[in-house]
Structure 1
């Protein structure tokens, strides 16, 4: 495929996906149709299939974009020596990323679209983000899989509660540092308990 054609196709795909993000923010992730997408970009609906084989293929592209942004945001979290401060900074970064775009959060972390399963390619940046977190936490002596699972449940739960119950406020957002401190204290108690048993 000639380079000019590749660029035009990439630009068209980006325009379609951009329109989908906007439609998702207006109507919900599964609340818009291929016809609405086509109208948003000024083409006939069948033309969309030149660029994406299905609506799920568009979601897959959106999932890739969202996870790449997530990976980059998590990689930019500063590395600190103090465990509690590192956890606070990591929690704030995660919560801020998610609350910046609730629709993206739903796509990445809540699986709101019936029948949509991300491809391995779309999921790869999420794996990279998790591995970055694993490496950062290993530097502060957090290495058990159970602890990492608990951490992800804790911070994702904060975001879910905030979006569901106080979307324009900060009721759960304000608990981010306290949640990180609670997690750190729980780790210390758990380790002490394992050492004494």
Structure 2
């Protein structure tokens, strides 16, 4: 059935937005996210800067769309890593997630740095609508940690207990996005920041010169994380 005029207009709008995002990723891969220029992106597509604003009203809107796609890419990579091993133990699944995270960060380094690296000048930070998609990339790790708790490997509640302010914050975050035990959410977030820090050091070339790459450090940190969960 042929599309009506409104449907064709919407499709053209979406197609052009995708072309702009692709051009923006190409620019980021060559020049880095911190130097992202709407004028340069528009020029690479043969558009004027005012024409680009019809599709993304500001640089902030474009960066937000790119970060949204980056989080979806990370989520998909983590989810796909566990599809072949649905019945594996929680620790084997955690190892698999860790390796998938590192592989994704290396293969999609522009996406990794856009999410976790230096902020893009002029970007105002994640609005509320970005929180759910960011949370999706943490969901599979939360499920693996919950599996560890069910298996008796993780003792809840965690010690030491959070202070009142942290307790309120964790509960609010859990109630709004993840609907899980706040201690499990806390642990998932801390694990994510530990592996994120190693990848920032490796991809940012901040490792001491004695390491050819970060694989050995990352592997050991994964095992340390598993031992920490077991207590």
Bin of the TM-score, shorter chain as denominator length: 0.7 to 0.9
Distance in 2 (alpha carbons) for counterparts of 1:146 and 1:11: 39
Q: 1:2 to 1:14 in 2, by over 3 A?
A: same
* The one of 210, 214, 217 aligned to 1:172: 214
Distance in 2 (alpha carbons) for counterparts of 1:14 and 1:27: 20
2:4 counterpart of 1:4: no
Partner of residue 145, structure 2:
137
**Equivalent pair of 2:27/2:36 in contact (CA under 8 Å):** yes
**Equivalent pair of 1:63/1:123 in contact (CA under 8 Å):** no
**Equivalent pair of 2:145/2:184 in contact (CA under 8 Å):** no
Structure 1 spans left out of the alignment, 5+ residues: 191-197
Distance in 2 (alpha carbons) for counterparts of 1:170 and 1:59: 33
* The one of 193, 210, 214 aligned to 1:153: 193
**Equivalent pair of 1:9/1:51 in contact (CA under 8 Å):** yes
**Structure with the larger RCO, 1 or 2 (CA within 8 Å, 6+ apart):** 1
Distance in 2 (alpha carbons) for counterparts of 1:173 and 1:6: 45
2:22 counterpart of 1:15: no
Which portions of structure 1, spanning 4 or more consecutive aligned residues, are displaced by more than 6 angstroms? none
Partner of residue 101, structure 1:
108
Distance in 2 (alpha carbons) for counterparts of 1:172 and 1:80: 29
Partner of residue 79, structure 2:
75
Q: What displacement does 1:176 show?
A: 2.6
Q: What displacement does 1:163 show?
A: 0.8
SS of match in other structure, 1:77: helix
Bigger mean CA offset, 145-154 vs 86-95? 145-154
Partner of residue 162, structure 2:
none
SS of match in other structure, 2:121: coil
Q: For residues 7-37 of structure 1, what are the alpha-carbon distances to aligned partners after superposition, in whole Å with 9 as ceiling and x for unaligned?
A: 1111111001100001011111121322211
Partner of residue 65, structure 1:
69
2:227 counterpart of 1:185: yes
Distance in 2 (alpha carbons) for counterparts of 1:14 and 1:8: 10
Bigger mean CA offset, 103-112 vs 136-145? 136-145
* The one of 50, 64, 81 aligned to 1:46: 50
Q: What displacement does 1:80 show?
A: 4.8
What is the TM-score of this pair, normalised by structure 1?
0.85
SS of match in other structure, 2:81: coil
- Equivalences, count: 188
**Equivalent pair of 1:70/1:126 in contact (CA under 8 Å):** no
